[in-house]
Amino acid sequence: MGSSSAAPWKQLLLNSIQANSHLKHYSYFQLATVAPNNTPSNRTVVFRGFQDESDRILINTDARSRKIDDLKHLPFSEICWYFTETWEQFRISGPVDVIDGTNPDPFKLQQREKSWFACSLRSRLQYMAPTPRLPSLSEQPSPIPSLDPSIGPVAAFCVLVLDPQQVDYLNLKSNERLIFTSELNDDREKLWTPEKVNP
């Protein structure tokens, strides 16, 4: 046992990523939230890695997107990640920290900047597009904005940090299912307890 860096499910996930990395879709998973009207909301996002050496999952998003409203309403989420090559599913749930440009924490702003510069230039340009979900006023595609690659994050760029509390792992090839549950010890370290359950 130990801190969150030793999360027992993390190595399982890293193994799955490695085994499926030749597939284009290996880094995509679904992120579910609860909308302000208490209805479910779901979308596909891209895995951007773990925060430093922790088990916290990074996701880039547009600060103007619906998921931000959802997370302000209820700052919890569950992701569902299925690996088609190895027939493995990970459902990972926990609180989500939303880091936008107004965040007062210098460490979090540093994480936002680090995530921004880790993006391709093409990916960064998405955050300069017209506001998502608003009516399109023109039949013509929007002109592609120009962006200085050395400039830091634009206002619309936002990082989500999901801090896993429970991980439900299902392997359909071996017909095995494990549920990992976390709790904090007296030193505020996250300890994980695995339980084998029926698939």
Q: Which domains does the chain have, with CATH numbers?
A: 4-131+156-197 (2.30.110.10)
Euclidean distance between CA atoms 81 and 27, whole angstroms: 9
Give the pLDDT confidence score for residue 1 in this predicted structure.
35
Within 10 A of 76 (CB to CB), how many other CB atoms are there?
A: 17
Give the pLDDT confidence score for residue 175 in this predicted structure.
97
Taking only the tens place, the pLDDT of each residue in 75-131 is 999 999 999 999 999 999 999 999 999 999 999 999 999 999 999 988 998 898 888
Give the pLDDT confidence score for residue 129 in this predicted structure.
84
Taking only the tens place, the pLDDT of each residue in 13-57 is 999 999 999 999 999 999 999 999 999 999 999 999 999 989 999
* pLDDT exceeds 90 at position 64: yes
* pLDDT exceeds 70 at position 9: yes
Give the pLDDT confidence score for residue 3 in this predicted structure.
41
